Amino acid sequence: MKNLGRSMVSGLIGIGIGMIWFGVEVLFSLNGRNIASATVYVSSLIFWIFASFVIGIFFYVASFVFDKDDWSLRKQIIVNFFVCLIAWLIFAFALNDFVFSWLLLTEVIGKFLLMYAIAYGAYLLHLFHEVREINNKLKEK
């Protein structure tokens, strides 16, 4: 039950990040035109909300690797990175009817690297901050 709740939260975070991403893509697609002229199809929006939710849940499931205490953080991140990358590639190519192109592959990997760097960069910064905070408190004792 606890896991279900957490996976739902992760799915909702996925929607949040996905919608920011969606918004940025819409802005880029404008090519300098007025924002009022932007067109967003409801079907496309619903699809991306659902897809973001599923991606969020997938990231939660993939994060189980971080519970393996006997693995170093480096090993956990490497395994998590490749599991997520493979899933992301399958998802991206499925959207394009599995038509392969080097351009698409580069674009998909580039986007993934950017998302991963933002997510785990933020996590590592938070971790360093927590350790510093604890050390300061321990010094006070």
Partner 1 sequence: MEIKFNIDENFEKEKVEFWIRRMTDKVKRAARDLQVEQNFIWGYQENEAYRVEYRQIYSIQVENEKTYICTKDSNYQFKGRLYQVKTNLPSDFIEASRSAIINYHFIDHLEIIRNGNIDAVMKNGLRVQIARRKIKNLKERLGL
Instruction: State the helix-helix crossing angle for 102-140 and 73-95, rounded to 10 degrees.
Output: 150
64-93 binders of partner 1 (CB under 8 A): 66-67, 69, 72-77
Query: Residue from 28, 37, 42, 137 that binds partner 1 (CB under 8 A)?
Result: 137
* Total chain residues near partner 1 (CB under 8 A): 20
Work out whether 135 is an interface residue with partner 1 (CB under 8 A): yes
Burial zone of 11 (CB within 10 Å; 0-12 exposed, 13-18 middle, 19+ buried): buried
Buried (b) or exposed (e) across 54-70, using 16+ Cβ within 10 A?
Answer: ebbbbbbebbebeeeee
**Alpha carbon separation from 137 to 48, 75, 122, 123, 130 (Å, rounded):** 44, 30, 23, 21, 11
3-state helix, strand, coil in the chain (%, to 5): 85, 0, 15
**Which among 3-11, 38-46, 83-91, 126-134 is the span making contact with partner 1, rule CB under 8 A?**
126-134
**Is 50 or 128 the residue whose CB approaches partner 1 more closely?**
128
**Smallest distance, Å, CB 60 to partner 1?**
14
Give 12 or 124: the residue with its C-beta nearer to partner 1: 124
Q: Of the listed pieces 7-15, 49-57, 91-99, 133-141, which binds partner 1 according to CB under 8 A?
A: 133-141
Binding-site ranges for partner 1 (CB under 8 A): 66-67, 69, 72-77, 127-128, 130-131, 133-135, 137-139, 141
